[in-house]
Chains A and B, each alone.
Chain A
Amino acid sequence: MRATSVIFRRELGAYLRSPLGYVVAAIALLLDGILFQGLALGAGARLSATVLADFFQFSSVTTGIAAVALSVRLLAEERQAGTLVLLNTSPVRDSAIVLGKFFAALVFLAAITAITIYMPLLIMVNGKISLGHVAVGYLGLFLFGAAALSMGVFASSLTRHQLIAAAVGAALVGASSLLFVLSQRLNPPLKDLFADLDMWARHFPPFMKGVLHVRHVFYYLAVTYFFLLLSTKTLEAKRWQ
């Protein structure tokens, strides 16, 4: 645990002390604002609950993009700079490395997501939405972001090139969010399997509407755990290369 917290503090400090993190945050907020103003609010009058649900829908896209952007450098940069050898030769387990870096990126991503709270609060001024709805929606964004981040960490563990890691991470997140579309072309039982594996269409919409299902929470936690496990195993395998 101590090793994890040391790595966590170091990585979080790196995000806070480098311009990259703030640039990613500003771009994410800009995209959120444009989508909120242009699509969620729209041209005509819309029900406040619909505006809030659309806000969470568009925010999930920017959260996914931000998660991949924040995660690509976590392991790939270390390998490229040669500092991963230092970590590997220190008495730190691979799982501690992965967890420490993941949690640092997650905290930063959560902070970026939390800053967007002013948009739902603007809706609350004239609309009829509950704080519970807002809280559940943000929980959904947090869980979706964590899952996307874990995929990005895994992609980062595969290669030393950050660009390739970004492409692989984006492909993983994109493909897993489109499995539902693919499932419509298949027959049971693959149809149900692919639909249930989809990271967005099956599991995210209830969060948008303020309804918290235990099974969807478990799904995102399971995806996050699985890809972190893959990242750890990949790091272990790379020790022998």
Chain B
Amino acid sequence: MAMRRGAPSWLTLAFAAALVALFLGERLLSTIPTFRLLFSLTGAAVLLATFVWRLTAWLAAEGKRRRVERILLLGQLGCAVALLVYFVSSEEGMRWSGLDGASPDGTESRWPTIAGVLWPILLFASLLPLLLAQWAHGAARHLRAGPAHVEAFRVAESAASGLTISMAASALFLFAYVTAELDAKVDASYFRTSMPGSAITNMVKAMDKKLRVLLFFPAINDVRDEAASYFGELSRASSNVQLEWIDRVSQPQLARKHRVTREGTVILAIDEQSERIEVGDEMRSARQTLRQLDEKVHQAFLKVARPARVAYVMTGHGELNDQAGVQPDEDGFGGWTVLKQVLTAMNYQARTLGLAQGSAEDVPADATMVMVLGPKSALLKEEIAALDRYLSRGGSLFLALDPLGNSEVGTLEHRLGVHFDPVWLADDRAFVPFRRNHDDHRMIVTASFSSHAAVTTLGRGRNENAIVVPGTGHLTESAQPASEKKPTIRPTWIVRSLASTFVDPNANSTFDAGEKRDVYNLAAAVEQQLDTPPTLPDPSKKDAPPQTLRALFFADSDMFSDFVLAKAPTNLALVVDSLKWLGREEKFAGETVSEKDVLIQHTQGKDVAWFYSTIIGAPVLVLLVGLFWVFRHRRHAEGRKAQ
């Protein structure tokens, strides 16, 4: 059948350009009236003209040509309807059509929402088939395709493909919106409620009173279930623990007595003393607390089981805690915020002891222990004498010196039987890669601990209990003066270096000829019977006075700085056990269990293993296995061919 010439192929392009002009005029240039008018009117005029031309061409065409023009006309018609819907959904259109009022039932009209979804779908579902159909039609004419039915069929197929794609995309958008609104989620990240650690278990076992645990939770609650598993385990560890599940609503007097105002509160009570732990009853907010529940219970128990104690911390000589001198030293370590938090958590009040507080006169009588944290300038003779007198009446001393500080401790050396050698130690085999240069050899690592109570947790012999000792000297037994008739004091070496450590007198962090690798003492514990133990108990004090002096002597103070304690939980464990021993609570020593995330930091040795396995090992293995498989297969194939 003969076909009349239809509309030119550029008509569809003009139509598309008109749509773009309308978009520019209405969306991008709407704030500039002149441009808006120009683009919108031009676009509308061209749209109308192309539509009329297409309609005329369709009416004039015959046979397969008419079919092609009908497909293109339908595409343009669809776009026009989409624009009409868009216009009606606009503010002006709503006013013009009277659809801006409320629905008959009084609710807000949903027409803007419906129209807002409908017009893009209509536009896409019309424009894409139109463009694809025109492309197919133009390509066929360009190639002078053979029989006419191929051309019309190709155009129809292309339009159908465009419609399929646009409807699929629209459906996917709608489904995506629905799934976003009804979003369900599963949090598979690490979460576990901590279980009672050995520290709290030992404490409740050693109690001579009952510990009441009042748990204010709703009857059915997932946080309650987690808390029940922890406290149930604790109550099984000791019959001193008594659990009581309280409904806040049915027992308001009890809630008022303990000032409990919300669900998810745990009260630990011994006699009239009580301490609260706020856990919460919503799992999302309670997760963090549940992961650290053992630590929280440990801290609360210490506050309720015994009154607060006092730890005096010397100041005025550039110590870690000295505000005037609290600048990081040349290695970048300083500050004692973390150490102070540990003291607070263990129910100690940390008080400064400087000249203003009478450090040169005497250590206050309420001191449970005195801490000296890396003095940079020398202690006064009077201060040393005050510490000596304090020790002679059964005091506890935490003494940490540093190679970068002042190492003069006068008579304390003889009192404790320990001499501090400030020459640097280094280790080029077991160290923490920090700055990635030779200075890292001073960031030595050791896992060599004795079985002393001050290193209970670390001394369990696992390799991951290694501590970091940045920039340390070492300790030896001090030579006793010949005139001394006292029994020789034998310190206990509680922390020692690894055998690969060497003394580095030239401070170049490199193992030179003449330097010796050996095991060096890094920390000492001293316990000595008092010369004249107090015989009359002080009636104002509940505890019996100590019969021995106790001291811990460390060859490094940076291992207790904020930077190290924040990143090395093992150093933190050393501090906790040390303080418990000095406070004569070593029977409570043990670890608290935390499911808090941990820091990953490797020694140089481990780094090398990880490096080679991740970067070289796996890729080479895959490549070798693959190439072996390929060549084996080819050989088989060649063998079969030869046969």
Contacts and interface: CB of A to CB of B under 8 A. Distances in A.
Interface of A: 16-19, 21-23, 25-27, 29-30, 32-34, 36-37, 41, 43-51, 115-116, 118-119, 122-123, 126-130, 132-133, 135-136, 196, 206, 209-215, 218-219, 222, 225-226, 229-230, 233, 236-237, 240-241
Contacts of B191: 130
Interface in B586-643: 595-602, 610-611, 613-616, 618-620, 622-623, 625-627, 629-630, 633-634
Given A22-B627, A118-B618, A222-B175, A48 B157 contact: no
A29 B619 contact: yes
A21 B625 CA distance: 12
Contact of A26 (B168, B567, B611, B619): B619
B179 interface: yes
Given A48-B600, A219-B176, A225-B172, A126 B164 contact: no
Contacts of B187: 210-212
B436 A130 contact: no
A171 to B, nearest CB: 20
A37 B607 CA distance: 9
Contacts of A130: 188-191
Nearest to A34: B615
A226 B171 CA distance: 11
Contacts of B600: 41, 45-48, 51, 123, 126-127
A17 B189 contact: no
25 contacts: A16-B629, A17-B630, A22-B625, A32-B614, A33-B614, A37-B614, A45-B600, A47-B597, A49-B597, A115-B622, A118-B613, A118-B618, A129-B189, A129-B190, A130-B189, A196-B176, A206-B185, A211-B188, A214-B185, A219-B176, A225-B168, A233-B161, A236-B157, A237-B157, A240-B136
Contacts of B70: none
Contacts of A51: 600
Contacts of B626: 19, 21-23, 25-26
Nearest to B614: A33
Interface of B: 136, 139, 150, 154, 157-158, 161, 164-165, 168-169, 172, 175-176, 179-180, 182-191, 433-434, 436, 464, 567, 595-602, 610-611, 613-616, 618-620, 622-623, 625-627, 629-630, 633-634
Contacts, number: 168
Nearest to A196: B176
Given A33-B618, A214-B183, 16 more contacts: A22-B625, A26-B619, A26-B623, A30-B619, A33-B614, A37-B614, A44-B601, A45-B601, A126-B464, A126-B598, A135-B188, A210-B189, A211-B185, A222-B175, A237-B157, A241-B139
A45 B189 contact: no
Listed from nearest, the 4 A-B pairs whose CB atoms lie closest are A22-B626, A132-B188, A210-B189, A45-B601
Contacts of A16: 629
A211 B622 contact: no
Nearest to B637: A17
A43 B600 CA distance: 10
Nearest to B191: A130
A194 B184 CA distance: 23
Given A33-B614, A222-B172, A233 B164 contact: yes
A226 B622 CA distance: 33
Contacts of B164: 229, 233
A200 B168 CA distance: 22
B416 to A, nearest CB: 34
Name the prevailing secondary structure of the B interface residues: helix
A126 to B, nearest CB: 6
A206 B505 CA distance: 53
A8 to B, nearest CB: 19
Contacts of B630: 17-19, 22
A98 to B, nearest CB: 14
A34 B620 CA distance: 14
Contacts of A211: 185-189
A25 B626 CA distance: 9
A237 B164 CA distance: 13
Contact of B176 (A50, A115, A127, A222): A222
A237 B162 CA distance: 11
A135 B620 CA distance: 25
Contact of A218 (B175, B189, B629): B175
A128 B595 contact: yes
A108 to B, nearest CB: 11
Contacts of B622: 22, 25-26, 29, 115
B614 A36 contact: yes
Contacts of B595: 128
B564 to A, nearest CB: 10
B140 to A, nearest CB: 8
Contacts of A219: 176
A229 B433 CA distance: 52
B567 to A, nearest CB: 5
A230 B599 CA distance: 47
A233 B629 CA distance: 37
Interface centre among B567, B600, B622 (most CB of A within 10 A): B600
A45 B618 contact: no
Contact of B179 (A46, A132, A218): A218
A128 B164 CA distance: 48
Given A22-B626, A215-B179, A233-B164, A209 B189 contact: yes
A124 to B, nearest CB: 10
Given A22-B630, A48-B597, A215-B183, A128 B188 contact: no
B597 A22 contact: no
B188 A133 contact: yes
B426 to A, nearest CB: 20
Nearest to B27: A190
Contacts of A37: 610-611, 614-615
Contacts of A47: 597-600
Given A26-B622, A37-B615, A128-B595, A212 B188 contact: yes
A76 B33 CA distance: 50
